[in-house]
Amino acid sequence: MTETINTIKSLLKTISDVSDQRIVKWRSDARSGVQLALKSWDNQQQKTLKKEQAFQERFSFERQHWQEGLVNIAGVDEVGRGPLAGPVIAAAVILPHDFHSIEVIDSKQLSAKKRNELYYLIIEQAISIGVGIVEAPQIDEINIYQAARVAMTQAVQELAPTAEFLLIDAMSLDLSTPQASLIKGDARSNSIAAASIVAKVTRDKLMTDYDTIYPGYGFANNAGYGTQEHLEGIQKLGITPIHRRSFGPVRERI
């Protein structure tokens, strides 16, 4: 019995092997609807292949050290340097050598929904995760750059087991652990990308909680960044304990 075009379309969603005999059979099907479905499937396979190749390339730094006999390579990243309110948060993540989720990449390239999905996958599969948090008063005291370094250091120190080597996004830390600073590391290393996802989701969740404590600033939507809603909230309501007093718009309001 000849399969309907809709049936073939449904089956194609479950097939990833180009040598599958059903694919071979359908390629000789004269119906234009089947050939269009196969063309779409072929395009999707090419996209997946490119994602897989890019994912493997993003393990090149980790693989280099694994081959040297090191086991626990941690990626380290931070989020929250730019907001006017809330803490800067860093994460350190040690991924297993067989970790395989090709969608893990710099959190800024992902939708909120995808970040959340990957966050729970990383939490479940990571060998170790550490998180560091530096609140607004300390940011004002030591400046945002140093606060980011402190948060990263805290995150690394929270790891158990500890890291044998650190891959850090554009930063160096005063730690004895051997390390490498990678410019745009969250787009070049899966471990740093995983850390960026953990840090971003952790911070977004915290800012959503702050939105219920300090309504009127839109923290759940803007995560503390200087959006129009946030700036209007500062003008109308003043500043909160989580605002960074050393940052321009907040300092001006004071």
Report DSSP letters for 3-14, one per residue. Answer: PPHHHHHHHHTT
Cβ neighbours of residue 72 closer than 8 Å, sequence gap 6 or more: 94, 127, 128, 159, 161, 162, 163, 164, 165
Give 80-132 pLDDT, tens digit per residue.
999 999 999 999 999 999 999 999 999 999 999 999 999 999 999 999 999 99
Q: Are 147 and 83 in contact (CB under 8 A)?
A: no
Which DSSP helix (H) or strand (E) runs through 241? none
* Predicted pLDDT at 153: 98
At 185, the amino acid letter reads: G
Q: What is the mean pLDDT of each run of 10 residues along the chain (254 residues)?
A: 88 88 91 93 92 96 97 98 98 98 95 97 98 98 98 98 97 97 97 98 98 98 97 96 96 90
Q: What is the model's pLDDT at position 82?
A: 97
Whole-number pLDDT of residue 188: 97
CA distance 206 to 97: 30
Residue tagged 């960026």 (tokens):
196
Question: Do residues 110 and 90 lie in contact, with contact meaning Cβ atoms separated by under 8 Å?
Answer: no
For each of the domains in the chain, give its residue range(s) and CATH number, in order of start.
5-54 (no CATH), 60-198 (3.30.420.10)
In this prediction, residue 106 carries a pLDDT of 94
Count CB atoms within 10 A of the CB of residue 248.
10
* pLDDT at residue 19, rounded to an integer: 86
